[in-house]
Amino acid sequence: MRKRNNIIISFDDEVPLLQAVKILRESKEIITDVLSPFPVHGLDEALSIKRSRIPVVGFIFGALGAILAFGFQAWVFTVSYPLIIGGKPFFSVPTFIPITFEVTVLFAGLSMVAALLIRSRLKPDISFKPVDERITDDRFVILVDAADEKTTLNRVKSLLSGIHTLEIR
Amino acid sequence: MLQSPLRTPLIEGNRKTYRRITSDILNPMMNKAGKFWYMGMTIAGLAMLFGVFMIFWTVWQGIGTWGENRTVGWAFEITTFVWWIGIGHAGTFISAILLLFRQKWRNSINRSAEAMTIFAVICAALFPLIHLGRPLLTFFIFPYPNTRGLWVNFNSPLVWDVFAISTYFTISLVFWYVGLIPDIGTLRDKIKKGLKKNIYNFLSFGWKGSAKDWHRHEITSIMLAAIATPLVLSVHSIVSMDFASSIVPGWHTTIFPPYFVAGAIFSGFAMVQTLLIITRKAMGLEDFITKSHVENMNKILIATGSIVALAYMTEMFMAWYSGVEYEHYAFMNRATGPYWWAYMIMIGCNVVSSQLLWIKKLRKSLVFTFFLSIVINIGMWFERFVIIVTSLHRDYLTSSWTMYKPTIVEFGLLIGTLGIFFTAFLLFIRIFPVISISEVKSILKTGDKNQHNTELNHEKTE
Amino acid sequence: MDEQFDFKKKYRNILLILITGGILVSLAAILISKPGASRIWANVLLNNQYFMGLSLGAAFFLAVHRVSQSGWHTVLQRLPDAMTTFLPVAFVLMLLIYFGIHNLYRWTDNNLSDKVIEGKKAWLNIPFFFIRLVVYFTGWIVLTRMMRKNSGALMTSSDLKYHNRKILFAGLFLVFYGITVSASSWDWIMSLDAHWYSTLFGWYVLIGMFVTSLAFITLLIWLLKRLGYLKYVRADHVHDMAILIFAFSIFWTYQWFAQYELIWYGHLPEETSYYITRVHHFKVIFFINLGVNFIVPFFGLITFNSKRQIGWVAIIAAIVLIGHWIDYWLMIMPAAAGDKAGIGLLEICMTLVYGCLFIFIVLRSLSTGPLVVKNDPYLEESLNYES
């Protein structure tokens, strides 16, 4: 991960956080990231985060699971080893449905979680160090990209002078 | 979001701050365990050991150590198996279905409910493994290409069970863990150094609380909830089809799938009540798991209990209406035959007791709820026992009629699974936060737009 | 917020003309094609059940939301409330079945030497059948009237006791409905196949009723919005209606499958006769039923955005309404009319007549009060609802 120069602005509540985000975006500051202890309502719109396509991943893999499960059962019962069980036909659609459904759900669920972990680059990593240890407790942080630290710092400080921040560094 | 003034607060306590939420939930977990915890672990641990020994005995000596015979091929163990799967369903109901219905009160109970699901499914999954005559050949139940050219019988509901329960376990585990990741991050940051910090750091997957990550996390949670909902319906329906797809009188009836699901949610919520009434007191979490949470869960109990009662009435009516003498007898036998006492326990514990919850005072009483929840679970165990044993011990061929008597080994297995369950739950409350910290923080401001969480206010209210 | 629906003379006249025209064409169809008394009465029963189901499903929607203290639906309350006013008319129409009872139900024939039906005589006899009918409707009408009355009382006074009473009657309705929807479906529909039985039947009909009502409420929202009303009903509310239609269509399909699969698997002649008639003689309609009631709402409402546009959701709702009519057709027609069953001019016109009557009564009820409830403690929450 490239080391960036970031201005760190901390808040203790999400209301000033949202106000600050709006002001910074209006002034065309580049916000690298916003960190919070819980998902803040309204933040997605303020940052113009596009709706994630994880559900699409789930749908595609679910459909794949459905086809695989149904096809496999059909193949087993019609081609590989047809057996007369309880007088039912070889291609017995009603009995294939439960497993098809379960495999669909399994594929959909696991693929979405995998997509989440991959896209957010979440993996077990002992060497991880957070920006501020209180973010997961009660701190809200905006990281602003600063090519030139000093001028950006002063600009940001003046923009956010009316808002209750904890610190800007 | 604007809330009606009629609504009871989701979190009580005097102007809680986010910091306070974190410490309220983490402190009981990180501090030394009290003597009650040790007592609980001892009892549960002993039960678990007893059960483990019984499992060993079953595998070593064989299924003959159980009380089943040719007529009654299924009894105690499958009853316990269905009972545990049923209990697990409440967890998914709370995490998934209540999330989809936007019932915010679920945020403080979903973590422990999901954990309960996972432990319940583990207990249930034991039985398919140990009930096979030759456990060495357990792998037979999985469809893998083999030199015999054989596959499993996909037409059989028992094979559907394998897929359903594996999927249910996997998805529940994954749903629970994805929700846990942000909270493990909180734990990681609260602990300053040491082995514990490294472990939590490892388990937290580098969670940093980034807005984009939260967005994806929320969407994934909602999507998992959306697929977990039909999953939970399908799992218990497939379990019910173990019975309903047969032609045994009292078993072959189309109402089984939704009736079993309603019964599962009924017993599951009862177990959640049992666990949480104790946990909230023991860990001082009454501000988060409030009396109205208990009351809301009681409302779900009365609703599902009534659905179960309606199902009993429907089955009884239809047994008469069908004009099939075997169905007639199956139901007469349940109420008046040699297992009539089990039937009475079932009706008393499920129908009569749960209907008492129409009375508001009882609905709000913690003591009553606690005892009722245990009564309901006993009733639901007997429900499965009645369905399985009374239908099997006297079906079509009168010369095969016989009685079933459980052995000490089978009692041991039931007690053992209770031991496993409570041991796991007691360990869970010491290792992970019992309440979902981030989700509770996100509902703190519900209804109170002006509540501002500054250090100043925090000091004032201290 | 004080807007009231103006049931203009123009709309009344259109509906009345359609009703009259429909009756005339139906009579013509009867004279020309001679469908037989069974098929005619089966149509009466089918439409009675369908439109009564719309009223009951609407009451169920209200009752469940009130008992669970959900706030979002408050702004929509008047719509399902108005739908429940059809119940007295449904009562009268269902009583008419008396005249066709021998054409519909085999068990009314006293000269049958059929042991199975003999065994059911304690339940399936004409006097008890009608006593039950009266009990069901009386209970439904009284309870829905009490729900409406308290809703109305809340609008003029702001005494919370009316709000609490609304919840009380909602609870009572749910209990009564739970029992009677099963029993009434056994009486009116299941007994058409006198030898057949299925314990799931009552619950299957219940969910079908609920989905149809959800679809109808959605269509009403669309219609009123087109006419310029309900500007405060936003995409968020439509989203939740769409979620309900999506979810309960899936639930309906699950019940359809549970009933079908268990009967197919058990292969018992006394149960399979039901499906053999329908799959062998009415195969196309049988599978269209499944397709329209599952495939269409599932794929039509699966994406996030599709649930938020009232125009699209209304189209899906309309298809679902037709789909569940087909579902009832499959339950009733093959049993009642046998070989003579079909979907022709008679079916379409009679449904049109009933439909216009239903819409007339609903719109008239809507016009008697403000479109939005007043003084409801959850109203603010509902108006500001974000989903």
pLDDT digits (tens, 9 = 90+) for C257-270: 999 999 999 999 98
What are A35's strand-pairing partners? A141, B210
- Return the pLDDT at B459: 39
Output the pLDDT for position B460: 38
Question: What average pLDDT score do residues A70-95 get?
Answer: 92
**CB burial of residue B212 (10 Å; 0-12, 13-18, 19+):** middle
Q: What is the CATH number of domain B18-135+152-446?
A: 1.20.1630.10
| 3-state SS string for chain C | CCCECCCCHHHHHHHHHHHHHHHHHHHHHHHHHCCCHHHHHHHHHHHHHHHHHHHHHHHHHHHHHHHCCCCHHHHHCHHHHHHHHHHHHHHHHHHCHHHHHHHHCHHHCCCCCCHHHHHCCCCCCHHHHHHHHHHHHHHHHHHHHHHHHHHHHHHHCCCHHHHHHHHHHHHHHHHHHHHHHHHHHHHHCHHHCCCCCCCCHHHHHHHHHHHHHHHHHHHHHHHHHHCCCCCCCCHHHHHHHHHHHHHHHHHHHHHHHHHHHHHHHHCCHHHHHHHHHHHHHCHHHHHHHHHHHHHHHHHHCCCCHHHHCHHHHHHHHHHHHHHHHHHHHHHHHHHHCHHHCCCCHHHHHHHHHHHHHHHHHHHHHHCCCECCCCCCCCHHHHHCCCC
pLDDT band at B3 (very low <50, low <70, confident <90, very high): confident
Chain C residues touching B245 at Cβ < 8 A: 261-262, 265-266
Residue pair C59/C178 in contact by the 8 Å Cβ criterion: no
- Please state, in angstroms and rounded to a whole number, the distance separating the CA atoms of residues C217 and C283: 31
Contacts of C182 in chain B (CB under 8 A): 310, 314
Residues 229-268 of B with CB under 8 A from A: 230-231, 234, 238, 241
User: What distance in Å separates residue B443's CA from the closest CA in chain C?
Assistant: 14
B314 and C247: CB-CB below 8 Å? no
Contact A164 B454 (CB under 8 A): yes
pLDDT-derived band at B249 (thresholds 50, 70, 90) equals very high
- N-terminal to C-terminal alpha carbon distance within chain A: 21
Task: Give the closest residue to C348 by CA, choosing from C330, C362, C329.
Answer: C329
Cβ within 8 Å, pair B167-A103: yes
Scan residues 322-341 of B and list those with Cβ closer than 8 Å to C: 322-324
| Residue B75 or B10, more confident | B75
Contact A94 C302 (CB under 8 A): no
CA–CA gap between residue C371 and residue C360 (Å, rounded): 16
Q: In the block, which residue shows the tokens 């039950």?
A: C132
Please enumerate residues of C whose Cβ is less than 8 A from a Cβ of A: 257, 260-261, 264-265, 267, 302, 304
B8 pLDDT above the threshold of 90: no
Tracing tokens 């314990």 back to the chain, one arrives at C199
CB atoms within 10 A of CB C115: 8
pLDDT in tens, B182-214: 999 999 998 888 898 889 999 999 998 999 999
C63 class by beta-carbon count within 10 Å (0-12 exposed, 13-18 middle, 19+ buried) = buried
Helix (H) or strand (E) holding B242: helix B211-244
Residue in the block written with tokens 């493990």:
B184
Cβ separation of C264 and A94 shorter than 8 Å? yes
Contact partners, residue B359, CB within 8 Å, separation at least 6 = none
Nearest CA in chain A to B18: A138
Do the interacting molecules here have an ipTM over 0.85?
A: yes
Q: Which residues of A touch C (CB under 8 A)?
A: 51, 55, 59, 86-88, 94-95, 97
Residue type, B265: I
Contact A97 C265 (CB under 8 A): no
Of B200, B287, B291, the C-alpha closest to B24 is B287
Nearest to C260 among A51, A88, A94 (CB): A94
Q: Where are the domains of chain A?
A: 6-37+135-168, 54-119
Classify domain A6-37+135-168 by CATH number: 3.30.70
Q: How many CB atoms lie within 10 A of CB B4?
A: 16
Contacts of C302 in chain A (CB under 8 A): 59
Q: What is the pLDDT of residue B248?
A: 93
The reply to whether residue B323 touches residue C71, judged by beta carbons under 8 angstroms, is no
The tens digit of pLDDT for each residue in C60-101 reads 999 999 988 888 888 899 999 999 999 999 999 999 999 999
Q: What is the pLDDT of residues A130-139, one digit of tens each?
A: 888 888 888 8
Which residues, 6+ apart, have CB-to-CB distance to C178 below 8 Å? B306, B307, B310, C206
Q: How many CB pairs under 8 A join A and C?
A: 17
> Are the beta carbons of C96 and C49 closer than 8 angstroms?
no
Q: Which residues pair with residue A7 across a beta bridge?
A: A144
| Residues of chain C neighbouring B257 (CB-CB closer than 8 A) | 200, 254-255, 258, 262
Q: Inter-chain contact A121–B206, Cβ cutoff 8 Å?
A: yes
Q: Decide if B374 contacts B425 (C-beta within 8 A).
A: no
Q: CA-CA distance, A112 to B375, in Å (whole number)?
A: 40
* B396 DSSP 8-state letter: S
d(CA B385, CA B372): 20
Residue C265: closest CA among B156, B152, A101, A78: B156
Q: What pLDDT is stored for residue B438 in this prediction?
A: 92
Report the share of chain B in percent with pLDDT over 90.
74
- pTM above threshold 0.90: yes
A149-159 and A14-26 helices cross at what angle (nearest 10)? 120
* Cβ <8 Å between C377 and B4: yes
In B, which residues are within 8 Å of A113 by CB distance?
A: 174, 178, 220, 224
Supply angle C-alpha C204, C208, C212, rounded to 5.
175
**Beta carbons of C257 and A97 less than 8 Å apart:** yes
Largest CA distance in chain A: 82
The verdict on a CB contact (< 8 Å) between C377 and B5 is yes
Q: Which residue of B has its CA nearest to A81?
A: B150
Minimum mean pLDDT range among A147-161, B20-34, B427-441, C325-339: A147-161
CA C62, C67, C72, C77 torsion-angle sign: positive
Residue C267: list chain A partners with CB under 8 A.
Answer: 86-88
Instruction: Tell me if B227 and A96 make a contact (CB, 8 A cut-off).
Output: no
Determine the residue among C264, C268, C384 to mutate to test chain A binding: the one whose Cβ has the most chain A Cβ atoms within 10 Å: C264
Give the closest residue to A76 by CA, choosing from B143, C379, C187.
Answer: B143
Residue A2 pLDDT > 50: no
Kindly list the residues from chain C whose CB atom is less than 8 angstroms away from the CB atom of residue A94.
Answer: 257, 260-261, 264-265
Q: pLDDT category, C340, cuts 50, 70, 90?
A: confident
Chains near C, with 3+ CB pairs < 8 A?
A, B
